[in-house]
Structure 1
Amino acid sequence: MYQSLEQFSKSWIFKRHDPKVEPEDLQQIRLLSEPRAGQIWHDYISDEQVHPDHFTDRDWLKKASSQAPDGKLQWEKAWDSEQAPLPDELLAHFSAWGDDTTVFFCCHNELVFELTWGVFKRTWKAFLFLDNGPILVGKKKKQAAQFHTNGWANLLFRVS
C-alpha cells in the first residue's frame, strides 16, 4: 500500500532546511504504492486521464459546477514569504476539515501522497515544489484545490 519516500526521485523536497519538514511530520507523509495511487487517482480525480495536463471538460475539475465562488488564489507569494501558514483563502476553503482528516496530494496516477490535513498545513511549502497541477483532496470530503506552476490555485468542490 505504501512505498518508502526514499524511492521518490524528488525526496529532497522533504529534507531541505527551507522549508523545514520536522521528523515527526516526515514520518506521517506516506508515498502510496503505484497500484494504490492509481486507485486513489481513479476514485478521486479522473477515471480517464492519468495526468493533470490531460484533463478534459469531462473531468470534474474542469466543470463550472466544481469551481468555488472566487475560486482562484495566488499561493506563490505566501510560499515565497518567511511566514509558514497556508494562505487564508485556502484555510477558509478547507475550514470543514479537522487536523486528523486524511488528505491525498495527487500529482498524477502513479504519484499520490497520503497524510493528514494537520501535517499538510505544516509542510505545504515542501509539497508545492511539485506545482505542475497537483490536486489536494480529502478522504470523503468535497473540498479540493489544484495548484499550478504560475503561482495560482483553483479552489474546487468535487462533483460527479
Structure 2
Amino acid sequence: MSYLPLDQYQRKWIFTHQSMPLPEEDLAQIKPMTAQRAAQFWKDNISAQSPDSERLSSQDWPMHNKAWGDEVDWMAEWESDDPEMPVAITQHIDWQDDVTIYFCYEKYNILETKWSVFKRHWKNFLFYDDGPILIGRRRKEALWFHSNGLVKLGQHQ
C-alpha cells in the first residue's frame, strides 16, 4: 500500500482542528504517503541526499537560484479571516482543480491531494511551515513555503 489512512497520519489534527475542520469529502482526498513511498518520491523529485528542505545540497534543484522567481508574503493572508490564498500564488499556479499535487514537508512526510483541496484548505496545510515544497504532477510550477512568512514562486527542475 502506498498511502496511510488519514486516521493514522501523525499530523491529522491539522485537518480536523476545531477552528478549521475540513468536510469529510475533502478529508477523503488527502492521502498521506507511507514512509517508503514518501522517501522514494522525495528522492526522485526533491533531493537524493537531504532529508528535509533545511539541509538541501547545492545539487538539489530547489537550491538553484534559477528555479525561483518572486517571493511573496503568505503569512498576512494566513492570519486573516479571508480563506483565499495570496493572489500572487494563484496567478503563478493556474492549474485545473483536478491536478494532483504533492505537498512535501520532508523525506518521510508527503501528502497527495488535488489542487482544489489545497486551494480551499491551504491554511491547514501550513500549520507546519518548516519549508514545505508544493509540486504538481506533470507540472513545472512549484512553491516553497518558509516559516518567515514568505513563499518562493518557481519552476520544478
TM-score scaled to structure 2, two decimals? Answer: 0.95
What is the CA–CA distance in structure 1 between the aligned matches of 2:91 and 2:129, rounded to whole Å?
21
What is the CA–CA distance in structure 2 between the aligned matches of 1:12 and 1:111, rounded to whole Å?
15
Q: How is 1:4-153 mapped onto 2 (pairs within 5 angstroms)? A: 4-68=5-69, 71-95=70-94, 97-153=95-151
Q: How many residues align?
A: 156
Percent identical pairs in the alignment equals: 35
How far has the Cα of 1:154 moved from its partner?
0.9
- Bigger shift: residues 137-146 or 36-45: 36-45
- Bigger shift: residues 15-24 or 114-123: 15-24
SS in 2 for 1:155: strand
1:75-109 deviation digits (Å, cap 9, x = unpaired): 011001110011100001101x1100000000111
Give unmatched runs, 5+ long, in structure 1.
none
What is the CA–CA distance in structure 1 between the aligned matches of 2:133 and 2:19, rounded to whole Å?
23
TM-score scaled to structure 1, two decimals? Answer: 0.93
What letter is aligned with 2:108? Answer: E
Partner in structure 2 of residue 157 of structure 1: 155
What is the CA–CA distance in structure 1 between the aligned matches of 2:105 and 2:41, rounded to whole Å?
11
Moved over 3 A (4+): none
How far has the Cα of 1:9 moved from its partner?
2.1
Q: Give the superposed CA RMSD.
A: 1.0
Give unmatched runs, 5+ long, in structure 2.
none
SS in 2 for 1:2: coil
SS in 2 for 1:73: strand
